A and B are shown apart, each in its own frame.
Chain A
Amino acid sequence: MTVLAPRTVDELERILADSPDHTILSGGTDLMVEVNLHGRRPTAIVSLRSVEELHAWTFDHERVTIGAAVPYATMEVGELAGLVPALAQAARTVGSPQIRAAGTLGGNLGTCSPAGDGLPVLSALEATVHIRGNGDRRDVPFADFMVGVKRNALRAGEFVHSVSIPRVDGWQGYAKVGTRNAMVIANASTCLVRDRSAGRVRVALGAVGPTILRCPEAESWLAANSDLRGNTPPSADVRAEFSRLVSQASRPIDDHRSTAEYRRHAVGVLARRLLERSYQ
């Protein structure tokens, strides 16, 4: 049998160490499209379906830790949604109910598409990716995990075990632009976190660059020019300048889904709207 179904993380690790050519299968929503339509021919597969530890999530005062094989359906409602609202919002925009019942964060990170909806949330919340493999554990900040279009920091024999997301005292939200509501890959997306106790805002952009982009200039300019700790919304002028700085941080391209110009404009608008929502 060439489809292996380990039950523990240790077994999974051993399989990948012995034969790193095993393709990891989580929800299959990216991998099976490759197999069905793009001629991908895996020769050996290791499925995460029975690795219980990867299907679990936990939290404490500091952080929420989500196993790589937790499906979007679990993130979009209930307790987890309350703990990480931006992730819940992002999860609700993924594909359709059938896709969200299967698709996982581990798969989003494995594919590492710039349009992956989970990724801007992990970026803005400064999540850590917990990696296992080859008898080792590595904790990699999301910013160092995604290294290019569909490229990540995983080495042969490694897999994503979980991600941990620091809990923030403040507001967080995710917004995405696409051609319709259901079943749409982002043309542009934005996650904004307003950390009240730190007096900071963090903005991450999806589908407007080779990786998820942060907006350091817009973030520090806004912190210097508005009251991020309190309840007084920034003025219209400040919001407009913030929006412009966010657009400036994007590095979009023209492709079959949209134009660079539209995308640059869209992320600025999304960031401004999210900022406004953070005061409502």
Chain B
Amino acid sequence: MSTPSGIGSENYSLTVNGRSHDVKDSWIGESLLYVLRERLGLPGAKGACEQGECGSCTVVVDGRAVCSCLVLAASVVDTSIVTVEGLGDGGRLSDVQQAFLDCGGVQCGFCTPGFIVAVHHLLESVPDPDDHQIREALSGNICSCTGYGRILEAVQQVAVARRSK
């Protein structure tokens, strides 16, 4: 998205993964996806469709998993935003990320960050999801490579491991 000339120079700050970031001279219509990637150097959320259909841009805003391509960045100034970059533990992979690798849930990897965020969000609200709940929770995330079987397996593996902790 290019900034239309002449209009808008928004200055605001966003709280992403617990850290405050200043956004300078942005255009009013910029999506959170664009601002994260192009202005804040956080390329974890991926953009494919920019119309809410693929889920590769999923982030959590104030506890809700949403498509960052459909969030107007300048409207989420007073919220807490969590992206895939905020999920690992100091450079170590999260249990969900590790399970995706172990189960072969990552092929080209483009959809992976969106899935990882969606799965973390699911397991926080439903620690013990059944197959139907997992499929429903991930129905807004598209993967063109894996055929989903390995992704579903990874989710179940994490749920079981967390329960036995």
Contact = CB atoms under 8 A, between A and B. Distances in A.
Interface of A: 1-3, 5, 25, 27-29, 31-33, 35-37, 40-45, 47, 49-50, 71, 73, 95-99, 101-102, 181-183
B64 A101 contact: yes
A101 B66 contact: yes
A182 B139 CA distance: 6
B140 interface: yes
B72 A47 contact: yes
Contacts, number: 109
Given A36-B1, A102-B66, A28 B72 contact: yes
B51 A5 contact: no
19 contacts: A1-B11, A2-B10, A3-B74, A5-B77, A25-B75, A32-B72, A33-B52, A33-B70, A35-B72, A40-B29, A45-B74, A97-B140, A98-B118, A99-B52, A101-B64, A102-B64, A102-B70, A182-B139, A183-B53
A175 B110 CA distance: 34
A98 B66 contact: yes
B141 to A, nearest CB: 8
Contact of A49 (B53, B67, B70, B75): B75
Contacts of A2: 8, 10, 28
| Residue among B4, B7, B12, B139 facing the most chain A CB atoms (10 A cut-off) | B139
B59 to A, nearest CB: 10
Given A5-B75, A28-B70, A36 B50 contact: yes
Nearest to A27: B70
Q: Which 9 residue pairs are nearest across A and B when measured between Cβ atoms?
A: A96-B140, A182-B139, A32-B70, A3-B74, A101-B64, A47-B75, A36-B50, A98-B140, A35-B29
Interface of B: 1, 4, 7-8, 10-12, 28-29, 31, 50-53, 55, 58, 64-67, 69-72, 74-79, 118, 136-137, 139-141
| Residue among A27, A35, A96 facing the most chain B CB atoms (10 A cut-off) | A96
Contacts of A1: 10-12, 74
B65 A98 contact: yes
Contacts of B79: 49
